[in-house]
Amino acid sequence: MFPSSFARRLAPTLLALLCLAALPSLARATVVASTIKGSDSIWLAGRTDLLIPDASQPWPGGMVRHAGPTPEEIKETLPPGFAVTAGSVIRVLDPASGGISFFNGFGGTTYGPEGNGVPGSSSISAFGGLSGYLGTQGALVGVFLSDGVPVSNPPATLDFTNAGLGINFLTLAPELQQVFYIGNGVTSGGVFQEFIAPAGATRVFFGISDSFNFNGAPGAFDDNDGAYQIRVGINEDPGNPITNPVPEPSGLLLLAAGMGLLWRSRRSI
């Protein structure tokens, strides 16, 4: 048996090693670049249960379409999605760019990712399990989802008017299935915005907000030509990409405890 004095000295070291062993890995830092087409309806995020008919056909129960053919005849598409975990921090690494024409005919007026008009000039209702949207017209938006298919029980619509959240917030923590404004991902003062994944989140999607006259039921995607481009970091420090992942809060506490116990044990030996 070890002398009791040695055991007392060894105990802090063993406890410190246990703390460090239990330390969760730093939140995985990932960079993703994506093109969001004008047809990428945010309300189709995660809707793998839907069969999207050809653009020339009506779509009862789906996205509202023009009554007749459009010059573009664009078929709606599922928006791109990427893996996240609860607490993941999403940041745009470069201001989102590109342009989309939301009007009949090619080569028309285009809007950038920030959308057009004052915040609140677009008010779009919920669809399936995804909330509505209240913000600028045709903006780049996002939504966090779990692994389930969002078919019902949409959460409340976030208010991105100037009297509500506005579009110059620094940090936003939406609920699951709650559509949120991204725009170009930067405030008017040049600060990159943060979007925090809620509990239960496993995916984040980036898509387009649209409806007839940018108000009412989601739709009118069948004449949207163009695209937005976005490059985002998931759990990444924009000032030090990839090499500086963001630690989880619980990991920071365990790391501090472990290092402190190691320091004490070294002094007592």
237-250 pLDDT per residue, tens = 655 554 444 444 44
Q: How far is CA 150 from the centre of its chain?
A: 16
**pLDDT (0 to 100) of residue 260:** 53
**pLDDT (0 to 100) of residue 29:** 83
Q: Are 193 and 171 in contact (CB under 8 A)?
A: yes
Q: 90: Cβ–Cβ under 8 A, 6 or more apart, which residues?
A: 84, 142, 194, 195, 196, 197, 204, 232, 233, 234
- Distance in angstroms (rounded) separating the CA atoms of residues 106 and 102: 10
**pLDDT (0 to 100) of residue 212:** 97
Encoded tokens for 224: 């949207």
Residues of the chain short of pLDDT 50, as ranges, are 1-3, 6-7, 10-11, 13-26, 242-256, 258-259, 261-262, 265-266, 268
Identify the helix (H) or strand (E) that includes residue 203.
strand 203-208
- In the chain, DSSP finds a helix count (H) and a strand count (E) of 2, 12
Question: In three state form, how does the secondary structure of 70-94 look?
Answer: CCCCCCCECCCEEECCCCCEEEEEE
- Distance in angstroms (rounded) separating the CA atoms of residues 75 and 52: 8
Please give the biggest Cα pair distance in the chain: 89
pLDDT in tens, 210-245: 999 999 999 999 999 999 999 999 998 655 554 444
**pLDDT (0 to 100) of residue 104:** 84
Identify the helix (H) or strand (E) that includes residue 196.
strand 194-196
Torsion sign, CA atoms 186, 192, 198, 204: positive
Neighbouring CB atoms inside 10 A of 106's CB total 11
Helices (H), the chain: 4-22, 249-268
**pLDDT (0 to 100) of residue 106:** 83
**pLDDT (0 to 100) of residue 107:** 77
